[in-house]
Structure 1
Amino acid sequence: MKMKKFAALAAATIMTVSAVAATSAFSVFATAENTNRIVITDEVADKTYVAYQIFDQTSATNAIDWASDVDDTHFIEALKSDMTLGSKFDNASTAADVAKIISDKTNWTDEDTAAFAKVAATFVYTNGGITAEYSEGKYTLNVTNAGYYLIIDETNNTNKDNANSAYILNVSGKTDVTPKVGQPTLTKEIKHNENGDNGWGVVGDNQIGDDVEFRITTTIPSEVQYYDTYTYTIHDQLSEGFDLPDNAECFFYDKNGTKLTSVTFTPVINKNQTDNSFVIQFNIKDLLAQNPDIAKIETYYSAKLNGNAKVADKATNSTDNNPNTAYLTYSNNPKDESDKEDGRTPDSKVYDWTFTLAGKKEDDKGNALAGAKFQLKRDNKVISLYKIDDNNFRIATAKEIADGDKIVDTIVTVADGIFNIKGIDDTVEYTLEEIEAPADYNKAAPTKIKLSTGYKQNTDGTTDGTTFNYLQISQDDNSGVDGNGVTVVNRKGSELPSTGGIGTQIFYGVGGAIVVGAGVLLITKKRAKKD
């Protein structure tokens, strides 16, 4: 009878406390030592699974008993005092009593199994565990005796993108089990204004002073249910070309992508000014308490592109960009009840670009001209510039404009006629307007300018944001040409004033004087005749 009860126990408890499900049950325990084994299917080759025996059943005639060295008295006391298990073990005093309770399918739940395994883990270590052997995607536990075992994933996953399995309860035999070890994921994206589609990806481009938008998407593994505490933290490393953000906003979604509006959460940004980074931590168990359907979190923030940003000077194959890197640290050991986050996702990196407008002022014979005065405009507004030196200027930030030092709104060309404006965006129309020509030269007409770029593509068709393949510039309504330079030409010669200008007033004035003079002459002649 006791053997039949234990067979029922085996059938009832071949389950995963850590999302592991056994595939078979046995009506009797085999006594041959070479058949006492448990096989775990896991493709990760560097894990450590250790089996600890709870109940012993060495032959078909033996009664269910505690495994050697299990502190049964304190074990049962711990079961009786466990809050999850409640009063289920109040009348238990033997291994057979405990086996009967946990094999009662009517009154025993998955939560009870998880709690039982957690208590058992405290009392089995004195047994001396049996470590699994790995071969071709399978871990084999060659256990010594037939019986009921607690399998613990004792892998050191510190600073790895891997997680430990929660406790596994299983019966010895030719049993295959598959642990489902879940890990969160993180993807960082930057908003791109290319072609006006405002798409999200790995590459963006902006004008210095712009607020650049970022999105970080993180997922929540279903195995969180086996943890007492579960947190994860976004670590975001910005390049020195960005100001740290002041706030962020989070949105929550279920596994089908439906936005969940019932979750209340205000992300807190903890800044590190020393290395220009910040972190945002999430208590996932608290969030799931608000809504258990949360499967994905989207975190949005903006960071201003500042005067320290790297600027692409070359027209092709430049790598002067502003990278930003994010990763996630997370709880990855369900038996660890602390707030340690030993798991770490791979880095997710995006790249922001800003560009240079290379200008030259010359006459129609190709000679450089000094003394020309220009303004750069966007949407008919003059853009303030930070003067680096006589030839080089950069789009000024709001802070620099407020300080006023080295801020100009007009470029004056020097002897070589060369001027560079750094920090402009692509796909944006700028106007380069000459407000004063060199002496003896006519002013050039305003020039409309727009840059366009193309980025390196990976073999799988995705964009490699580290390098752009080409940069083109279009002037006025002309099609783009390779490069980022524009030449503004002045020509000598008299330029007649236009109708309605000061010149017509001169002509009218001179004409009026002639008419008046003719009238005076006519009157004088008539008087002379009378005399």
Structure 2
Amino acid sequence: MRQLRRLLSVLVMAVTIVGMSMTAFAQESVSGAGGNGSITIENASKGIHYTIYKIFDAKVNAEGTSVAYTKKDISENPYFKKDSAGNITATEDAYEAGSKEQLSEGAIAWIKENGKEVCSETSDGSILKFTGLPYGYYYVTSTLKDGGMIMVTSVAKDAQIVDKNSKEPQWTPGDDGNAGGKSIVLDDGKQVKENNVSIGETVHFRLQINTSNYVADKQIKEFIIEDTLPTGFDAAKITSVMIEEEPLEQFENTTFPVTIPWAADEGENGWKNLYDTGAKITIDYTAVLNDKAVIDGEGNKNSARFSWNYTTEEPGKSSIEDSTTTDTYAVVIQKVNEKGEALTGVEFEVPFPVQAEEESGVYTVKGGQTGTGKVKAGSDGAVVIKGLKMGDYRVTETKAPEGYNKLTESFLVSAEKIRATRTDASTYLDENGNVTESETETKVTYTNADFAAKVKVVVNKSGKLLPGTGGTGEMIFTVSGVLIAIVAGVVLLNAKRRKRIV
């Protein structure tokens, strides 16, 4: 009987018999086998399928002091043996070599072949209870790991076990085209690993973690979540922390790290799990991209990591890092004449607010604001604008260099990813001073060792252009022409009169 009790306490999937007073459960599976017994699995892993096999029938004597098991003759069975009183014990072959807990592959195969599958259920992550079980000796297994055996009898008809074979907590995988783990949430709700914004704009981040209550036989006490933002971002501001659908309001408007209690110490009753195993942690937070952001290149990468501590003194463990990248770009407007020589004194209007930097001709975008901006070329004839999100922007020349014609039309500049850390751009002009794709003798170069930028060469030509149609100049020319015609008519008329007099 002593050997039997030891066998019954061995749960290869690391399940442990607990107290008999478990009252709350969220998921019930009725076996339909017509019995009065039950097996309750606490800490059942979400999405894991549990199956119960009945190996032997059980019968308790009237005094409740002994249990007899019935089964067809097992005298040739290498894994179990029965004595004259009907008590069944396991042989050494029932276990892996050197173990008194891990069932051997042969024993498990015999159980599945000779036992009867009574019921099975996929856990929703809450406490899982199998009811309607006849008294007997059962084997409990799951798709997570082969399990162990437990007794259900009239003296202990409600068996309770704790599944301690949960997977380690991990970042949630992506699904339906959305990134999991650490992600960036776009305006349309899509979750991605990379995005691009203008400096001054706010980025919405999200962390998603699939938890567990145990790792092997160690119970998790708390989770610690950290996010390390690079210098290109202002401090993170947490907007919400959710455990499944439950908000933890105490974390709103705070910053990292976030420590979430996961089990409560109830003294003599031990530690009690506060949430279902597999419950998902979701943390939403925002951060503003600032003027220290990396331009193009590898972008602004920031990483998150979570860790956990156990209810014992054993050291906890940390997850792998998960990261996202936010890009921002730069454009350069290079002003030259027909010979490719730099021109200064030129000014432009751009369709976004800007902040001038100390260096002449260098500006930073004021993202998140509306309006236009004024920029002026530096001593090298270049206007550098940093911190633009990807796109085309229309620029208007408002002042031309002295002695040169002001452009009559606006033009586009493009902010795009170059995947470089410096700028080495070359542009060619043809014999008329127009930009051409072909290599010519007139070459305009721009170099910047600090970051990559898309360069737009804009040519101003010397001389005076005739006014365009519809302007004040047209009116002046029209009036002047009419006056000249009138004067000519008067002169011609007077000449004719003189001839008549003569």
TMscore range, shorter length: 0.5 to 0.7
Where do 5+ consecutive residues of structure 1 fail to align? 43-101, 115-164, 167-179, 254-260, 273-277, 313-317, 403-407, 456-466
Change (3 A) 1:367 1:345: same
Report the residue type matching 1:351 in the other structure. T
As a proportion of its length, which structure holds more helix? Answer: 1
With normalisation by structure 1, the TM-score equals: 0.53
CA positional deviation for 1:10: 3.3
Alignment-derived partner of residue 216 in structure 1:
207
Does 1:204 pair with 2:195?
yes
Change (3 A) 1:432 1:225: same
Aligned pair partner of 1:296 in 280, 299, 305: 280
Alignment-derived partner of residue 185 in structure 1:
170
Does 1:419 pair with 2:412?
no
Report the residue type matching 1:493 in the other structure. G
In structure 2, how many angstroms separate the alpha carbons of the residues matched to 1:471 and 1:366?
16
Partner SS, residue 99 of structure 2: strand
Instruction: List aligned pairs for 1:245-394, cutoff 5 A.
Output: 245-250=236-241, 261=245, 263-266=246-249, 268=251, 278-284=256-262, 292=276, 295-312=279-296, 318-319=297-298, 321-331=299-309, 333-335=310-312, 342-377=316-351, 382-394=352-364
Kept in 1: contact 2:239–2:252 (CA 8 A): yes
Partner SS, residue 499 of structure 1: coil
Alignment-derived partner of residue 38 in structure 1:
99
Instruction: List aligned pairs for 1:409-488, cutoff 5 A.
Output: 409-426=373-390, 428-444=391-407, 445-453=409-417, 484-488=454-458
Instruction: List aligned pairs for 1:209-248, cutoff 5 A.
Output: 209-221=200-212, 223=214, 230-248=221-239
Kept in 1: contact 2:332–2:383 (CA 8 A): yes
Change (3 A) 1:498 1:30: closer
Where do 5+ consecutive residues of structure 2 fail to align? 18-54, 56-78, 82-87, 104-149, 172-179, 265-271, 428-435, 438-451
Q: How many residues are aligned here? A: 350
Instruction: List aligned pairs for 1:100-111, cutoff 5 A.
Output: 105-106=153-154, 108=156
Give CA deviations for 1:345-372 in whole Å, capped at 9, x if unaligned: 1222222222221331101111111111
In structure 2, how many angstroms separate the alpha carbons of the residues matched to 1:191 and 1:335?
36
Change (3 A) 1:106 1:25: farther
Report the residue type matching 1:431 in the other structure. R
Kept in 2: contact 1:233–1:329 (CA 8 A): yes
With normalisation by structure 2, the TM-score equals: 0.56
Give CA deviations for 1:231-258 in whole Å, capped at 9, x if unaligned: 21211111111122333235666xxxxx
Give CA deviations for 1:310-366 in whole Å, capped at 9, x if unaligned: 223xxxxx34x32211111213x3546xxx982211222222222221331101111
Report the residue type matching 1:418 in the other structure. A
Report the residue type matching 2:300 in the other structure. N
Report the residue type matching 1:440 in the other structure. G
Kept in 1: contact 2:240–2:251 (CA 8 A): no
CA positional deviation for 1:30: 7.2
In structure 2, how many angstroms separate the alpha carbons of the residues matched to 1:492 and 1:271?
60
Change (3 A) 1:498 1:28: closer
Aligned pair partner of 2:472 in 498, 502, 505: 502
Give CA deviations for 1:75-133 in whole Å, capped at 9, x if unaligned: xxxxxxxxxxxxxxxxxxxxxxxxxxx9664454887566xxxxxxxxxxxxxxxxxxx
Give CA deviations for 1:433-460 in whole Å, capped at 9, x if unaligned: 22111122122332212244376xxxxx
In structure 2, how many angstroms separate the alpha carbons of the residues matched to 1:349 and 1:41?
39
Partner SS, residue 15 of structure 1: coil
In structure 1, how many angstroms separate the alpha carbons of the residues matched to 2:362 and 2:348?
13
Report the residue type matching 1:328 in the other structure. F
Report the residue type matching 1:486 in the other structure. K
CA positional deviation for 1:500: 1.4
Give CA deviations for 1:4-43 in whole Å, capped at 9, x if unaligned: x33442343222584489x976645779xx999426779x
Instruction: List aligned pairs for 1:55-74, cutoff 5 A.
Output: none
In structure 1, how many angstroms separate the alpha carbons of the residues matched to 2:97 and 2:377?
88
Give CA deviations for 1:284-317 in whole Å, capped at 9, x if unaligned: 459x9897485333322221101121223xxxxx
In structure 1, how many angstroms separate the alpha carbons of the residues matched to 2:100 and 2:252?
45
As a proportion of its length, which structure holds more strand? Answer: 2
CA positional deviation for 1:270: 7.5
Aligned pair partner of 1:13 in 5, 9, 16: 9
Greater shift, 412-421 or 495-504, is seen at 412-421
In structure 1, how many angstroms separate the alpha carbons of the residues matched to 2:7 and 2:326?
58
Partner SS, residue 410 of structure 1: strand
In structure 2, how many angstroms separate the alpha carbons of the residues matched to 1:493 and 1:347?
62
Report the residue type matching 1:438 in the other structure. P
Kept in 2: contact 1:473–1:483 (CA 8 A): no
Kept in 2: contact 1:244–1:271 (CA 8 A): no
In structure 1, how many angstroms separate the alpha carbons of the residues matched to 2:97 and 2:491?
136
CA positional deviation for 1:518: 7.0
In structure 1, how many angstroms separate the alpha carbons of the residues matched to 2:357 and 2:197?
20
Change (3 A) 1:110 1:497: farther
Report the residue type matching 2:335 in the other structure. K
Kept in 2: contact 1:452–1:471 (CA 8 A): no
In structure 2, how many angstroms separate the alpha carbons of the residues matched to 1:307 and 1:431?
23
Report the residue type matching 1:373 in the other structure. E
Change (3 A) 1:502 1:386: same
Partner SS, residue 238 of structure 2: coil
CA positional deviation for 1:507: 2.2
CA positional deviation for 1:392: 2.1
In structure 1, how many angstroms separate the alpha carbons of the residues matched to 2:326 and 2:425?
18
Change (3 A) 1:498 1:236: same
Instruction: List aligned pairs for 1:79-118, cutoff 5 A.
Output: 105-106=153-154, 108=156
Change (3 A) 1:472 1:376: farther
Instruction: Calculate the aligned-residue CA RMSD, in Å.
Output: 5.0
Give CA deviations for 1:140-195 in whole Å, capped at 9, x if unaligned: xxxxxxxxxxxxxxxxxxxxxxxxx96xxxxxxxxxxxxx35321136434387xx
Change (3 A) 1:363 1:472: closer
